């Protein structure tokens, strides 16, 4: 179980400050949806979970172990953004391998696992293709393949399907649902589309007035 307990973060501006509060739980194998207006504090939650921001108060626990003190690279977390997940000039296999140690090459075993995962996502013919030549949906599948090779128990999605056509979007949502179940991931999906939540989220929270509430 991933637990976010009374977590808060304050942005301090010259003339004012704004504080965001978060309480939520995500079970292994569960997709939790986070809805909210633009600027309501959704990405801030993901930055706190991934360690790019340090909370002012509260706890993040995975199966009882605090994560808040770990630097980003040591957190058991993978993130998928709306774009800029990949290095365009590198091929699909290299992009997937980057998820392991931040290097474009791996041991023969790692390379073969990367290719197997790409094949499981029907990307085998693109293993050696620069990702700049792939479609938006294919690129997001490469990014998901990297998540799988990393094999971290927490998956954070920040509106990753915005800009994809409806059928690709549906396919990606289905893939996230499947991967979450198969790998027992704790998946937090930020979206501004209620329909995304209806499609795959077990529970839905809404960010409103600086607080996260069960919708």
Which one among 2, 4, 24, 36 touches ligand ADP, defined by CB under 6 A?
36
φ, ψ at 117 (rounded to 5°)? -65, -40
44 binds, among ligand ADP, Mg ion, none (CB under 5 to 8 A by kind): ligand ADP
Chain Cα centroid distance, residue 74:
15
Phi-psi region of 2 (alpha: psi -120 to 50; beta: other; left: phi over 0): beta
Determine which helix (DSSP H) or strand (DSSP E) holds 206, and give its type and residue range. strand 203-208
> Which residues in 65-104 contact ligand ADP (CB under 6 A)?
none
Contact criterion met (CB below 8 Å) for 80 and 157: yes
How do strand 186-190 and strand 30-35 relate by DSSP bridges? parallel
Binding mask 38-57 for ligand ADP (x = CB under 6 A): xxxxxxx-------------
Q: Count residues contacting Mg ion (CB under 5 A)?
A: 1
- List, in order, residues 6 or more apart from 103 with CB less than 8 Å away: 97
Contact criterion met (CB below 8 Å) for 204 and 42: no
- Whole-number Cα distances in Å, 190 to 16, 57, 163: 27, 22, 15
Contact criterion met (CB below 8 Å) for 137 and 126: no
Stretch that binds Mg ion, among 41-49, 90-98, 166-174, 176-184 (CB under 5 A): 41-49
Complex with ligand ADP: residue 39 or 163, whichever CB lies closer:
39
Q: Which residue is nearest to Mg ion (CB)?
A: 43
Complex with ligand ADP: residue 34 or 145, whichever CB lies closer:
34
Contact criterion met (CB below 8 Å) for 142 and 87: no
How do strand 211-214 and strand 203-208 relate by DSSP bridges? antiparallel
Q: How far is the CB of 165 from Mg ion (least distance, A)?
A: 22
Under the binding rule (CB under 6 A), the answer on residue 10 touching ligand ADP is no
Q: Count residues contacting ligand ADP (CB under 6 A)?
A: 10
Under the binding rule (CB under 5 A), the answer on residue 43 touching Mg ion is yes
93 binds, among ligand ADP, Mg ion, none (CB under 5 to 8 A by kind): none
Q: How far is the CB of 159 from ligand ADP (least distance, A)?
A: 8
Stretch that binds Mg ion, among 24-32, 40-48, 103-111, 164-172 (CB under 5 A): 40-48
Q: How far is the CB of 49 from ligand ADP (least distance, A)?
A: 12
Point out which residues bind ligand ADP (CB under 6 A).
11, 18, 36, 38-44
Task: Name the site residues for Mg ion (rule: CB under 5 A).
Answer: 43
């Amino acid at each position: 179980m991933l637990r976010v307990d009374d977590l808060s973060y304050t942005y301090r501006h010259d003339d004012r400050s704004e504080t965001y509060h978060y309480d939520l739980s995500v079970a292994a194998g569960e997709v939790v949806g986070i809805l909210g207006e633009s600027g309501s504090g959704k990405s801030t939650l993901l930055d706190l979970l991934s360690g790019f921001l340090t909370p002012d108060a509260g706890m993040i626990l995975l199966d009882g172990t605090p994560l808040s003190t770990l630097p980003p690279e040591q957190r058991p977390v993978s993130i998928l953004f709306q774009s800029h997940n990949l290095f365009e000039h590198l091929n699909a296999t290299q992009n997937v391998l980057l998820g392991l140690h931040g290097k474009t090459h791996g041991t023969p075993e790692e390379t073969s696992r990367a290719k197997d995962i790409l094949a499981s996502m029907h990307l085998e013919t693109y293993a050696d293709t620069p990702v700049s030549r792939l479609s938006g949906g294919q690129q997001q599948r490469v990014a998901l393949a990297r998540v799988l090779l990393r094999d971290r128990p927490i998956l954070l999605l920040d509106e990753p399907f915005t800009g994809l056509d409806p059928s690709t979007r549906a396919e990606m949502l289905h893939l996230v649902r499947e991967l979450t179940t198969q790998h027992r991931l704790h998946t937090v999906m930020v979206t501004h589309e209620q329909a995304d939540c209806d499609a795959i989220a077990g529970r839905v929270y809404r960010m409103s007035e600086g607080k996260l509430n069960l919708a």
